[in-house]
Structure 1
Amino acid sequence: MKSAKNGTRFLVLLATTIYGAAQASTFLCTPTESVVFSCSTERLKIIELCLDKRTHSVSYRYGRPERIELSYSGKQGGENGFFFNHYFRSNVDYTRISFVTAGYEYSVFRDYDSAEGPILRYGVTVSENGNEVVQIKCQSQIVDNMSKIIGQLRCDERSALGCS
């Protein structure tokens, strides 16, 4: 009897895990948008940048398909739109695509520094007045097409990273 209960618990746990993974793999971009960046977080939420090729607007979305917690759209390179920063040297490569809304700066990042390890790190950093408030790291299911649009965005001159 005890092994049947354990087996049932295992199946419920497995089904929950599979359902959660399936939920996290869904994109938040609409069918008319292409995915510029997407990943799932530890809490199975999605961080996503989408490009609407018809309107040339970029959108940031955070949350789950059934409940988007934050959405922001702006023209590529527009005054109230998205900006980029990129820094590169041997064994170091940092990329940021950022926007500002309601006094907070959101920066989707891709970081590689061979001194810190052999893997890329992805996520979003939220800052207020230049001070980091929170950093949400990507855990899995990463789609990275940021390099395809950074040439169409304005450089964020305020950042020390520059725009190489």
Structure 2
Amino acid sequence: MKQLITLLAAGALSGTVAAALPQAPGGLCAERESVYFSCQTSLGRWIALCGTANDKIQYRFGTAGYIELAFPGPDGGRQVFRYAHYFRTGVDRMEVLFRNGGVDYAVFDYSERGRRTAGVRIASDSGREREFKCRGTIRNRLAELEGVLPCDQDSALNLGSCPAPSEQR
């Protein structure tokens, strides 16, 4: 377990928050923030993507009493995140991706044939990979970030349909 938390925080010391922010009930986003994604894992930790009125988005992981990882730091903006989405009849897959200190993160929500899987997948440059899956209630408004966040050129979910980088916001 300690190795797993180390992987989550690898290279992210600038994004680590020692104390929790004032939060709305049931998650890590503050009362005045938009909740783009929020769920609790089987380990009792929360996964969240929170947004502010000044176009900032932040990923948070931890408990209500202690946020273990907040990325980017308070001065960061949404430009560090990328968006991927695939949809066809019976299948809907969305991801918000970012990279922090040699670790790739993908906050995901997949639905296929009535089954839903959501959470965060992390992968280090050394090849270590882990998923934290949601249990219970999942709050998802990731679709609102399509067209707001840059399209992920490297994601197979986008099927090569990203606009040219010069056409993206």
Instruction: Name the counterpart of 1:119.
Output: 115
Equivalent residue number for residue 41 of structure 2: 41
Count, aligned residues: 133
One-letter amino acid matched to 2:133: K
Unaligned residue ranges in structure 2 (runs of 5+): 1-24, 162-169
Query: Would the aligned equivalents of 2:104 and 2:124 in 1 still touch at CA under 8 Å?
Result: yes
Greater Cα radius of gyration, structure 1 or 2 = 1
Could you tell me how far apart the structure 1 residues matched to 2:152 and 2:145 are? Answer: 14
Is 1:50 paired with 2:50?
Answer: yes
Match of 2:145 among 149, 154, 160: 149
In the alignment, which residue of structure 1 is the partner of 2:77?
75
Please give the alpha-carbon distance, in whole angstroms, between the structure 2 residues aligned to 1:121 and 1:70: 22
The verdict on how the C-alpha distance between 1:121 and 1:130 changes in structure 2, with shifts beyond 3 A counting, is farther
* Cross-structure match for 1:109: 108
Q: Which amino acid aligns with 1:75?
A: G
How far apart, CA to CA, are the structure 2 residues paired with 1:130 and 1:52? 34
Deviations 1:71-107 (A, max 9, x none): 102422x2xx111100112221110001110111110
Is contact 1:125-1:132 (8 Å) kept?
A: no
Give the drift of 1:32: 3.0
> 1:31 matched to which residue of 2?
31
Aligned-pair identity in percent equals 33
- Aligned counterparts of 2:131 and 2:146: Cα–Cα separation in 1: 22
Q: Secondary structure at the match of 1:154?
A: coil
After the TM superposition, which parts of structure 1 deviate over 4 Å for at least 4 consecutive aligned residues?
none
- Secondary structure, aligned partner of 1:93: strand
Q: TM-score, normalization: structure 2? A: 0.72
DSSP 3-state at the match of 1:137: strand
Cα displacement (A) at 1:141: 2.2
The Cα RMSD (Å) is: 1.8
3-state secondary structure, aligned to 1:148: helix
* In 2: Cα distance, 1:151 partner to 1:131 partner: 30
Task: List gaps (5 residues or longer) in structure 1.
Answer: 1-24
For residue 147 of structure 1, give the secondary structure of its aligned residue in structure 2. helix
For residues 52 and 131 of structure 1, the distance between their equivalents in structure 2, rounded to whole angstroms, comes to 33
Shift of 1:110: 0.7
Question: 1:148 and 1:41, CA in 2 relative to 1: closer, same or farther beyond 3 A?
Answer: same
